[in-house]
Structure 1
Amino acid sequence: MGANSYPQDVERGLFEGNPLADLIEGFCLTLEAGGELEAGPVVHVQLRPGVALSAVEADQLAKICQQGVQRQLDCHAGDFAAHPEQGPAANELAIAVHPYRSGPFADPAAIRNGYLLRDGS
């Protein structure tokens, strides 16, 4: 994947038109190593304090967020457009939902403005 993904586009994709956006406290971006020496983007979504979701609810939120972010990137990031020769998963991004102050959000001082984490931590 050679696309440029900007935090502002991701943020709009997470919040605009998302009926569950009020559950989201913030987000950050990482790259996750995949097969064949490739890395793919992961959008980590932090839930608001006191919000607890079942696995089914978290999956629903992740799917809505993934669709919104994908739609936003498809509209605003020309180099994110699908390239058939690279296969259907070339620009696929993952969404990981985390309870408040867990996962990459466990150390609140580690993330400023909730944008990008290096080395997946």
Structure 2
Amino acid sequence: MKEANKPIAPLVKRATFFKSFYYAWQGISYVLRTQRNMRVHLLAGLLVIIVGYLLGITSVEWACLLTVMALVYSLEMINTVAEAIVDLYTNEYHDLAKVAKDAAAGAVLLSAFFSVGVGLVIFLPHLLHWAFGW
């Protein structure tokens, strides 16, 4: 007979608070080393930061840009997770595996597309003022 307070699965030793930061950095490092698109997104983000600094954008504009950048980076990492889990589960083609991978990649694409829109809304008035004095 099963005891009421006995766990069903064996307990897994949890990482210490600071060790969890190390593991998180390992995940970020892995994605940076292995995912070309993450490096492309980081390069684009660096360009956005440089242009934003040169144009003297406001604090609210910075907050909007940093938020969409974080969204793109986070979704790129979640896309890597989805791909790794599907690859771990099966080496064979499966329609649902394709759906999982394509949907995760689509989430990254949508976030990147809308982040470009946010960038245009923020940068275009500054660039027009800088170029034409409007």
TM-score bracket for this pair, using the shorter chain length: 0.3 to 0.5
- Identify, as 1 or 2, the structure richer in helix: 2
Larger radius of gyration between Structure 1 and Structure 2: 2
- Structure 1 length normalisation: TM-score? 0.33
- Structure 2 length normalisation: TM-score? 0.31
